Structures are given as C-alpha cells and as structure tokens.
Amino acid sequence: PVPPPGRTMYILPFSMGPLGSPLAKVGLQLTDSPYVAASMRIMTRVGPQTFPALARDDFVRCLHSVGRPLPLREPLVSQWPCDPPRTLVAHLPDQRRIVSFGSGYGGNSLLGKKCFALRIASRLARDEGWLAEHMLILGVTDPAGRKRYVAAAFPSACGKTNLAMMTPALPGWRVHCVGDDIAWMKFDAEGRLRAINPESGFFGVAPGTSVRTNPNAMLTIRSNTIFTNVGQTSDGGVYWEGIDQPLNPGTTLTSWLGQPWTPGDPQPCAHPNSRFCAPANQCPIMDPAWEDPEGVPIDAIIFGGRRPEGVPLVYEAFNWRHGVFVGSAMRSEATAAAEHTGRRLMHDPFAMRPFFGYNAGQYLAHWLAVGERQGARLPRIFHVNWFLRDGAGRFVWPGFGHNARVLAWICSRVAGEDNAKTTPVGLVPREDALDLGGLPGVSYADLFPVSRAFWEKEARELRRYYEENFGEDLPKEVMGELRALEERVKKM
Ligand code: GDP
Ligand code: MN
C-alpha cells in the first residue's frame, strides 16, 4: 500500500513525577518524530493515568515538529530530519504552552525535560511557592546506617550524572540515586523540603562513561536504551571516547558520522555530546524511595562547577541568604561537551542560566523568600569544586567515588558536628575533618587555596556580571552579600 503523505503524528500524554504525587504535573506532547515518541516513553511516564488531569484541562501543551515535511524537498543529512537554520523553541508560561520547530534531538524535542520540567515549571514553582531546579538528587548512607538526601546543581557536563550514580570510595558508605538532572521541591506540612525527580529515565552524556568512571551507568544502559550520535562496532555494539572496553578481535568501528573509524583518528568516534537514553529503574542503585509520591526529605543543597583555580574543594554557606548568593555567583569552565567550545569561565547562576522561565532577579528573590518561610526546616547549602588543577594542568582531586569523602563531611555538618573553620568565602572542613586517607599526593593545602588576589578579582567580575545581567532586578540582599564578601576579602 502507498503510505499516506506527510509524517505520522504521535500523541503522548505524560506525567512528570511519580503517579499520584502532589508534586507531579501532566503534559501532552504532539510530535512528528518516532525517535521523540520512543525517547519520551523512557524519560517520562506516558499513559492513561494522565487522563484525569487532561480532562481537568490541567496540563502543559507541548507541540513539536522536526520541520521537514514529507515528501522531502532535499535529502536528509545523516538521516536526521530537522531544520537547524530555522530551529525555534517558544515557551509561553502564561498559557502553559511550548512550541518547538526544526529540532529532532535532545531538550529541544523531548519537551518534558528542559522546556517543561525547568523553564515552564520554574515559573509555575514561583507562582505556587515551590522550586523547580537543575539538580540531581541522591541518598547517602553512612556506615552507621544514617541516611541523608542531598540535591546538587551543577551546570551541564560538570558531573551530575556521575555523582548521582557514584560508587563511594569510602568503605561502609552507600549512595542511592533518586535523579540525575532535575529536582522539583516543595515544603511538606512539617516544614521539610521534599524532592521528586520528575523524570523516569536518564539522558546522559556517553563519552567518558566507563566501568571505571560510572559502573552503575554502564549497568543501566545494557538494554532498552536509545543511543544517539555514538560510534558503532561491527558486531552490533556501541563505542565512544573513554568507554575503556577492549574490542572483540576482528571488530571494526563506524563513527557517529557513519564513516569507518580507527583509534588515533583525529576526529572523535562519538560526538562529544552523544547520549544514552535509558529507563531509570534499570539503574542498580535507584533509591527505594525514588518514586515515593511524597518525595525525599532534602538535608543539603550543593552548588558547584568547573573551577580550575582559586575555589576550594568544598565550603559551606554561612546561612540561607549567603547560600542564595553562592548559587547566584556560580561560574564554570565550559567544555566542548557543553554548548560552548573552547575553555571559558561562564557565569551560570544556580546552573539555571539556560533554563530560567522568568526574570532571573525575581528568581533569586523567590529563593530568598523560601528562606523566610515560617516553620521551614531549611537544608544547609554548600559549594563544591572537583576540578582544581595544578601547575601542570592535572586535576588535584581524584573525584568520582572519592567525592564521597566530601559528602561525608557534608553529612557531618548536617548532623551538627563542630568541625569547620571560617574563611572569608565560607566554612571549610577543619584539616582533620576531611578524610584524605589513602590518597597519596593529595594535600589539604592544594584543595583549599586561600588567595586574596583571586577573590578580589572574583568579586570584581561578579559585580560587573550583576550590573550587566541583573541591573535593578538584583535583590538588595544579594548585593549586600557581595559587599560583605568584598569586606571580608579586604581583611584577608
Ligand atoms: P552532567 O552533564 O552534569 O550530568 O555531567 P556528567 O556526570 O555526565 O559528567 C560530565 C563529565 O565530567 C564527564 O566527562 C565525566 O567523566 C566528568 N566528571 C564527572 N565527575 C567528575 C569528577 O569528580 N572529577 C573529574 N575530574 N571529572 C568528572
Ligand atoms: Mn547528566
């Protein structure tokens, strides 16, 4: 039979968040991409359980087209139907509507993720008094069995997925994963901040993922997984830079561009931003409460980014207001895996710069207001930096599973231990409070640089960033925190 003209449209009624959760929200996506339909079934909860919300007209409308009508007027590049020069994504928060044209890939086409769960949701969250954030959620259990949940905001390609699935290098400690990218958080009746992962899958960066760096991700992606822009092996497997797995004898490779590829070729085999898309429930360390409709109680919030110099491994904010300032002051070295090439320090407040659904100054005001909430039992706020480098450009911190050492100190602070010392920047672990045992060549001094010149420059650059990007909208409390930092640094 002759197929009808045009593309098949798919209708996807989906829930962001566990079914029946007071924090969940429903969306309806219309798309002409089978790739998007299949991916949405992994990343969101698609099904008839959403019908009551649809009937109530309580849902976000998502319209998507790859922008390449059939019959084609020109041949496709690499079989990808899309229209890059005319790609446009529109968000209409007042109408709870998203319209996306021309892209067939990632957050521009799987509209539940960045468009809905961050941009539209951040606006809903402000109106309704909760938080929609670019944060992973994990549970960490100490050797005595005491469990804490933390949420962490890092910009793209700064280690969210790795931290959320980490295998602790500290004996007796365990980490469980609730989510690796987005957190929706709301205070419960007892004043505790409770978080859900609105997603039901992982859309993770493939290159660098290996049995050594992220064994749990490798176990997660063994089946039911959609790979995009990775290399292929001639025996039906996938391949990327840093996969760290020997090829079967006689196997050949094809690059993400469909060309024959051999190790040592100048161009990478997989695109640096190639991805796996896998169901969360296949991850061996999903938290038992990861689908709890009430969410998990958050004890600590962590901010972080790639800072090659000057910013210590970890510090704690003095209080909530200072923590909001720390979040607003986030910067990170952007790499090829993120959206910018070359290495440049980019400001990325709360890791939300690409995802604010409304005025960023009002966003900071919303965070300050959360801290003023009557009866709120506020999480403590921290900043981490796994990416300090030495003079030769090598990382001074082993990272990955060893980040559990930092989580251990954070847990000790949540438990109220008196083991921090005050610096102009924030509270850092006392030298005996951070477990560096069995890490030859790693020194406390290297991990906790203290430099007046560095922080003077940092404060100067931050002041200019505020002036150019927030202007009048910057809450006076945040400017007050910057002034207080400048004063403390002056006395260093
Ligand atoms: P996400 O985009 O925030 O989820 O970041 P990923 O977890 O996908 O990690 C991005 C990149 O950072 C990968 O190449 C990781 O190997 C690397 N990475 C993650 N955690 C660490 C760490 O603790 N230390 C170092 N040096 N690199 C890390
Ligand atoms: Mn990730």
Quick: pLDDT tens for 180-228.
Answer: 999 999 999 999 999 999 999 999 999 999 999 899 999 999 999 999 9
Kindly indicate the confidence band of residue 1, based on its pLDDT and cuts at 50, 70 and 90: confident
For ligand 1, mutation pick of 118, 160, 205, 216 (most atoms within 8 Å of CB): 205
Q: Which residues line ligand 1 (CB under 6 A)?
A: 154, 156-162, 204-205, 208, 213, 386-387, 395, 399-400, 403
- The residue behind tokens 């005001």 is 365
DSSP string, 120-186: IHHHHHHHHT-EEES-EEEEEE-TT--EEEEEEE--TTSSHHHHHT---SSTT-EEEEEESS-EEEE
Q: Are the CB atoms for 24 and 88 separated by under 8 Å?
A: no
Q: What is the pLDDT of residue 87?
A: 97
CA distance linking residue 26 with residue 420, whole number of Å = 44
β-pairing verdict for 201-205 and 275-279: antiparallel
Per-residue model confidence (pLDDT) at position 79: 86
Helix (H, G, I), strand (E, B) or coil at 355: coil
3-state secondary structure of 371: helix
**CA atoms within a 13 Å half-sphere pointing along the CA-CB vector of 311:** 25
Q: Give the residue among 474, 468, 323, 344 at the shortest CA–CA distance from 410.
A: 323
pLDDT band for position 337 (50/70/90)? very low
Output the pLDDT for position 124. Answer: 97
State how far Cα 83 lies from the chain centre: 27
Task: Dihedral sign for Cα 439, 445, 448, 454, please.
Answer: negative
For the beta sheet containing 201-205, the strands, ordered from the edge strand earlier in sequence to the opposite edge, are: 201-205, 275-279, 226-228
Exposure class string for 75-88: b at 16+ Cβ within 10 A, else e: eeeeebbbbeeebe
Each residue of 250-269: b (16+ CB within 10 Å) or e?
Answer: eeebebbeeeebeeeeeebb
What is the distance in A from the centroid of ligand 2 to the CA of 402?
A: 19
Average pLDDT across the chain, whole number = 96
- Which residue, 426, 449, 446, is CA-closest to 436? 446
Q: How many residues does the chain have?
A: 492
Query: Among all ligands shown, which has an atom nearest to the Cα of 351?
Result: 1
Per-residue pLDDT tens digits for 360-379: 999 999 999 999 999 999 99
H runs (alpha helix) in 336-402: 360-372
- Residue in 167, 155, 163, 156 with CA at minimum distance from that of residue 180: 163
Distance 178 CA to ligand 2 centre (A): 13
**3-class DSSP assignment, residue 20:** coil
**Tell me: the pLDDT tens digits for 376-409?**
999 999 999 999 999 999 999 999 999 999 999 9
Among the bound ligands, the one closest to the CA of 214: 1
Distance (Å, whole) CA 258 – CA 485: 53
Classify the C-alpha dihedral 52-25-58-294 as positive or negative. Answer: positive
Query: How would you list the strands of the sheet with 231-233, edge to edge?
Result: 238-239, 231-233, 253-254, 260-261
Please compute the mean of the pLDDT values over residues 450-464 and round it to a whole number: 97
Pocket test for ligand 1, best of 158, 240, 277, 389 (most atoms within 8 A of CB): 158
pLDDT at residue number 417? 98
